Copies of this chain bind each other. A is one copy, B any other.
Amino acid sequence: MTAPHETTDPGHPVESTRDTSPEALEQALEAAAAATGPFGDLNPVDRARMLRAVADALDGHADELVALADAETGLGSPRLPGEVRRTTVQLRMFADALEEGSWLEAIIDPADPDAAPTPRPDLRRMLMPVGPVVVFAASNFPFAFSVAGGDTASALAAGSPVLLKGHPGHPATSRRTAELVEKALADEGAPAGVFTLLEGMDAGTSALTDPRVKAAAFTGSLAGGRALFDIANGRAEPIPFYGEMGSLNPAFVTPGAVERRRDEIVTGFAGSAALGAGQFCTKPGLLFVPAEQATELEGALVGALGDKGPSRMLNDRIHAGHHDERERLASRPGVRVLLRGEDGAGEAGIGAAPTLLATTVSDLLADADALLTECFGPTAILVAYDGWADLLAAAQAFDGNLTATVHAEEDEAGSVAPLWRILRNRAGRLLWNGWPTGVAVTWAMHHGGPYPATTASLHTSVGMTAMRRFLRPVCYQDTPESLLPDALRDTNTLGVPRRVNGTLTHDDVQR
């Protein structure tokens, strides 16, 4: 289903999308449904081996993949090689987590005839795969949030087959990655149908409405994510829809921080806001600075951002969207243009240079609906605040975000505490004296947040806990050993952590 398709149109260096036919989709759905049992029942060690084989295959073809992705996205080096590496590190981390076993959340309560208020049967609970998952890939990460990215890795780790709806922005990269994924999985003995690439929005939405599909994940725009969320919840059998839909990522700077780290903050913000042409869902979109220091910062920021020059954006649509959104923001009352980035330059005419707008908290709050919307690309707004009360009022105006950042000195922590509390309810990740771009793949990472950052604030799309999205609990009551999953048998053959009689242990169960 993923054979390469060379276009002969010389005007397009990028291949076109080849829509998955209804017949191919039906075959993929049937295969995914059939694979659910065998794949989910594998020893986690076997699924871990399969994920590592996928990682090895991608690493082994990194140069080829990077060349394809560079032609399609212009993201270049070191970004693309780094992204391949991040993707394969992520696959291997999920493999490690699979072996560690706490993801199973195994809980065993042996029978207790003396339990209050009534005798207790033997109860054993663990998490099991939900079944086939549709993943809608993102445009801005052709590897880490695409075919073999975090959603795919976490779903496969959980034991759920994946139907991957490729992003039309990088079809050749998607097809080649999918070939490597499918081959690596097949070589390691994974059931057929565990992974299939789908192309075209029709195939994606058809899959989303199919009763055999049990969950969906998405990374992209708010409009797109909300439309798919509504479809998922409108089904006869609603399914969980994990949409990650972008974010404003406000950053707040205290007077003390400007005083002591002005240059560092200017350089850091400019680097983060302009990184990858601002095409990150974690791009810091608004920088709040003290009014009395705003003027000196304006000059420094214009200098730092002006030095960046234009970068190619991902595609025509994103380039045009950024242009329109930037102009819309620039035209709002009380908004000044400090730096207007050159537009349309560079390769393919889709370059964009950083733009810096400026306003005040009072103007921002007076026009919050218009100004507190994401501008995907290298545009940011500098917002002058007039004292702490002004700053807190601004923070309270935000809806859900993936991140919120504070730059302050440690001796200001007491003053910052109220701001920190406000931001905690509005963001998934709080940063102190850092910048939000760069999402580390670790156990503790949370890449999520209240709506509209995501459609499911209880979950993350990055980090080891992302597996939880594709797992549902099943409880076995008074079940003979032979009908229990390995993880719940008396003898802990898998060596996984289990809660037995309320206590975490790796020991066998004595009954």
Contact B131–A425 (Cβ < 8 Å): yes
Which stretch, A169-177, A323-331, A497-505, touches the partner chain B? A497-505
Interface string of A67-80 (1 = CB under 8 A from B): 00000000000000
Q: Which residues of B contact A465 (CB under 8 A)?
A: 105, 107, 125, 473
Q: Which of A80-114 contact B (CB under 8 A)?
A: 82, 85-86, 89, 96, 100, 102, 105, 107-109
Q: Which of A479-511 contact B (CB under 8 A)?
A: 479-480, 482-483, 497, 499, 502, 504
Residue in B413, B450, B477 whose CB lies within 8 Å of A472: B450
Residue in B96, B455, B458 whose CB lies within 8 Å of A473: B458
The distance in angstroms between the C-alpha atoms of A432 and B85, with both chains bound, is: 48
Contact A475–B410 (Cβ < 8 Å): no
Q: Which residues of B contact A458 (CB under 8 A)?
A: 130, 240, 468-469, 471-473
A432-B483, A473-B465 known; A455+B238 contact, CB < 8 A: yes
Contact A118–B497 (Cβ < 8 Å): no
The distance in angstroms between the C-alpha atoms of A443 and B431, with both chains bound, is: 34
Contact A125–B483 (Cβ < 8 Å): no
Contact B115–A432 (Cβ < 8 Å): no
A217 nearest CB across to chain B (Å): 14
Q: Does A12 contact B (CB under 8 A)?
A: no
**Interface range on chain A (Cβ under 8 Å from partner):** 35 or more
The distance in angstroms between the C-alpha atoms of A456 and B107, with both chains bound, is: 20
Contact A477–B429 (Cβ < 8 Å): yes
Q: Does A460 contact B (CB under 8 A)?
A: yes
Of chain B, the residue at the smallest CB distance from A448 is B473
A85-B116, A425-B131, A434-B477 known; A483+B420 contact, CB < 8 A: yes
Interface string of A37-52 (1 = CB under 8 A from B): 1000000000000000
The distance in angstroms between the C-alpha atoms of A58 and B115, with both chains bound, is: 20
Q: Does A320 contact B (CB under 8 A)?
A: no
Q: Which residues of B contact A460 (CB under 8 A)?
A: 473
Contact A444–B240 (Cβ < 8 Å): no
A271 nearest CB across to chain B (Å): 14
Q: Which residues of B contact A416 (CB under 8 A)?
A: 483
Q: Which of A117-135 contact B (CB under 8 A)?
A: 117-118, 120-121, 123-125, 128, 130-131
A221 nearest CB across to chain B (Å): 16
A428-B473, A428-B475 known; A109+B434 contact, CB < 8 A: no
15 new A-B contacts, CB < 8 A, other than A37-B421, A428-B473, are A82-B117, A85-B116, A89-B116, A102-B504, A107-B465, A131-B425, A413-B480, A424-B474, A428-B474, A430-B479, A432-B480, A458-B472, A459-B473, A460-B473, A465-B473
> Can you list 26 A-B contacts with CB-CB less than 8 angstroms, sorted by A residue number?
A37-B425, A82-B117, A86-B118, A89-B116, A96-B502, A100-B502, A102-B504, A115-B442, A120-B442, A123-B440, A123-B445, A125-B444, A125-B465, A130-B458, A230-B233, A233-B233, A237-B399, A413-B480, A417-B482, A428-B472, A430-B476, A444-B499, A448-B472, A450-B472, A459-B473, A504-B504
